[in-house]
Amino acid sequence: MVLSKELKLEVERTARGVREDIIRMVNAAGCGHPGGPLGMADFMATLFVAHLNLKPENRDAPDRDRFILGNGHTCAGYYSLLAQRGLFPREELLEFRKFGSRLQGHPHRSAELGIDMSTGSLGTGLSVGVGMALAARLDGHGSRIYVASSDGESQEGQIWEAATAAAHYGLANLTVLVDFNNVQIDGHMRDVMDVRDLREKYTAFGWHAMDVDGHDVEAIHQALCDAKTESERPSALICHTVIGKGVSFMEDQPGWHGVAPDNEQAAAALAELGTG
């Protein structure tokens, strides 16, 4: 299915807003993880705008789609998307990681905010997604379950236990989007613990797996459409991205995995993004 011009523009506007919000949020907090969510902004915006059936009026509906942020430390971008989709006021984003805030440094399950799962311990998100997908099928709901993961998280053995179960039960309503940016907290993933070809791995585990440019919203949209037409297998989108995308001095720099920009750096980043 072709992404319409209007919808593509909405996705691109949303992704740009996500990047702007991330810089402002992490700068205001003085801590957080800017690099990963900057790189994930394009595929996450495509999912939330063009595919995920989650909006304020159906946040409690049992047949709504579910989303789990397995790599929970990248939640600044997730919170921005929830706010932009109307789940809570966008002004609240500047309370990110503040004492007493609803927007902590890792997502906390909240029906009010539209957050389906508390995450942060890497490796657990896909397992919960498997359970949600199986439950949706048993309950007769047409819900789709989406899980975000990463190449670094794929070093966790629990990911592959979940992948085995998902294929065994034929959970065609489950899709994982893997942020493959070759960066983790200790450096480049290929140097720390190389997970090699994740498309081949997921395929070997019985999944419908695809490589996709994680910054090409039309390619991401098509891959998500292809996942919806799969009737017997879960789907894995290996989204190849650049950490810090959109901010030149952060791109492909492991040091920006979990460091907040100071005021000068935040101003320079926002200027690059067109809002400085």
- Residue 46, by phi and psi: left (phi above 0), alpha (psi -120 to 50) or beta? alpha
Strands (E), the chain: 66-69, 145-150, 174-180, 183-184, 187-188, 208-213, 235-240
The one-letter amino acid at 54: L
> What does the pLDDT look like over 74-128, one tens digit per residue?
999 999 999 999 999 999 999 999 999 999 999 999 999 999 999 999 999 999 9
Provide the residue ranges of all domains of the chain, joining segments of one domain with +.
5-272
Radius of gyration of the chain (CA): 17
Q: What share of the chain is helix, strand, coil (3-state, %, to 5)?
A: 45, 15, 40
> What does the pLDDT look like over 5-39, one tens digit per residue?
999 999 999 999 999 999 999 999 999 999 999 99
The one-letter amino acid at 102: R
Cα separation, 94 vs 108, whole angstroms = 17
Say which CATH class 5-272 falls into: alpha beta
> What does the pLDDT look like over 157-216, one tens digit per residue?
999 999 999 999 999 999 999 999 999 999 999 999 999 999 999 999 999 999 999 999
Cα separation, 124 vs 154, whole angstroms = 11
Tokens of residue 156, six digits: 């966790």
Residues 151, 185: contact at Cβ < 8 Å? Answer: no
From the CB of residue 16, how many other CB atoms can be counted at a distance below 10 Å?
17
Cα separation, 240 vs 220, whole angstroms = 11
Whole-number mean pLDDT of the chain? 97
Give pLDDT, residue 275: 75
Residues 225, 144: contact at Cβ < 8 Å? Answer: no
Residues 69, 119: contact at Cβ < 8 Å? Answer: yes
Tokens of residue 28, six digits: 């205001």
pTM of the model: 0.97
Strand duo 187-188 + 183-184: pairing:
antiparallel
